[in-house]
Amino acid sequence: MNRIVDASLPAEEVVADPIADVDSLERVAHPRIPLPPDLFAPERTNSAGFNFADGQAVDALMRDAGRASQQPWSAAPIVSVGKVAAGAAQPLFNPARIDDQIGSVANANAAIVEAAIGAAANAQEDWDAMGGEKRAQVLERAAVLFEEHTPAFIARCVREAGKTLPDALGEVREAVDFLRYYAARARRDFSHEVALPGPTGERNLLRLRGKGVFGCISPWNFPLAIYTGQVAAALAAGNAVVAKPAEQTPLTAAYATGLLLQAGVPPEVLQFVPGEGAEVGGALTRDPRLAGIVFTGSTDTARLIERSLAQRPGAVGTLIAETGGLNVMLADSSALAEQLVLDVVNSGFNSAGQRCSALRILLVQEEIAPRVQTLLAGCMDEIRIGDPAALSTDVGPVIDDEALKMLEAHAAGITARARWHHRAPCRVTGGRFFAPLAVEIDSLDAMKKEVFGPIVHVLKYRARDLDAVVRAVNALGYGLTLGIHTRIDGLAQRVARELRIGNVYINRNMIGAVVGVQPFGGNGLSGTGPKAGGPHYLHRMANEQTITTNTSAIGGNAGLLSLAAR
């Protein structure tokens, strides 16, 4: 941009092909810039990316994914208690093509859950005694298997959850990153006792041990990544697991479970119980043998789980919950409108707005609001809605009929009284497609709860009211993700400091947190903490034990005597 306005430069130099310039240079990697696989070295290997601009690679991926889709998929309870009487198989359909049956699921029941918890409880101590190093090796073998089966996972994420191809690849990468990150944390924190400072004549050691059996209840919007992250974390910390996937997406989770078992997780340590929330989830949370629950989903369901855990006899259970949010992006008048709009579209409409981190409310300073709205409408007109199996698709379907009905009802109600709104064109049929919507609202009072889908609510604010706006956002009670667009760093840091938000993104989109780089999780109505993919996550799933030994009781203070000998 600087060169364009430099009148002293010849036009030929300004418009020169930058690719040709790079090709003319000797290609030698800078020794201090790590290659992509080594980005997180020496702790762990980075997950493998994919170049969607490489036509041959895309063709190969599509062929492999097609082969993985040739046979109908199935899911059923995977428990180590012999034969189980699961429910009758129920068909599952592609949300983008509702006449496309992709497989079936036989659900567990309360009796199966009870047996699975018993088997897991009996196996947990031996798994814990293996130590962090051996558990880490199992998880790292699983990461290798996951990458080897990337096309099969992509096929399932696309056809079962309606993920676009790039989003499906992101699922696989995040799952692999979770496996390797938690393996590294297990090796670091669960393989050795830590010596604590203390007086001479005494030795004090601290060690971490698994709590027992954890129930892992995962959502449909990340059927592989969150499912794997929950399970891998609990296993890494020395716990046994009873895992319940979302009702809408058990096929992807079942495939992941099979690979975890193939990698060496003992069958007794990982039990898989697909089923309905009321029966299977209820049986999990009521059982007093359960040490805790890891849950990702709605705030209302998290409250139900909290009450169920509290009403059980026995030890107080651990609840790790990551719930939704009324996620806000704030843009002041210094924001670059073009960049802002691209980040609004990515944050609000990617994955059909079905991310916990997705943008729900755009707060834009009134001076730039008209231009932002014009650019946003134009950008939305270019969104391609359709079958996520096509690489050209930007936005796929919403997950089920209930979600579609809720979104259409909200859209009809809120646009009826709006001063401005714009909707992306949608010309595809045969699936559960909802055209992304941007709509202006008069105040934050219009947002009573999260609307889980591709709708961005636009609210203008005056510069002098910024402090009041910040207080109003805090008053919403949610605290998951926040976007800030400004070229005034002091303002960005002040807003980030004053808003009680778990993940803050400045001058970029606000989705796609990377494991170990942007640990993810909120507070308030958005979750209990700790952050998934962060350094404190495993500790919440562990018990701490301190061992104090009076070393002088053997006949003298050997430590003191050794000092004298020196």
Q: Are 198 and 550 in contact (CB under 8 A)?
A: no
Q: Are 244 and 285 in contact (CB under 8 A)?
A: no
Q: What is the DSSP string of 346-362?
A: HHHHGGGG-STT---EE
Residue 171 in contact with residue 224, Cβ under 8 Å? yes
> Which residue numbers are catalytic?
322, 356
The residue count of the chain comes to 566
Where do we find the tokens 């018993």? 118
d(CA 74, CA 80): 18
Which helix (H) or strand (E) covers residue 373, if one does?
Answer: helix 369-381
Tokens matching residue 253: 């989770």
Spatial CA neighbour of 428 closest among 467, 388, 466 = 388
Q: What is the DSSP letter of 156?
A: H
Distances, alpha carbon 491 to alpha carbons 178, 475, 505, in Å: 34, 20, 13
The first and second tokens of residue 328, run together, are 């806000």
Residue 387 tokens, joined: 């079958």
Rounded to whole angstroms, the Cα distance separating 184 from 132 reads 9
The Cα 333–Cα 341 span in angstroms is: 13
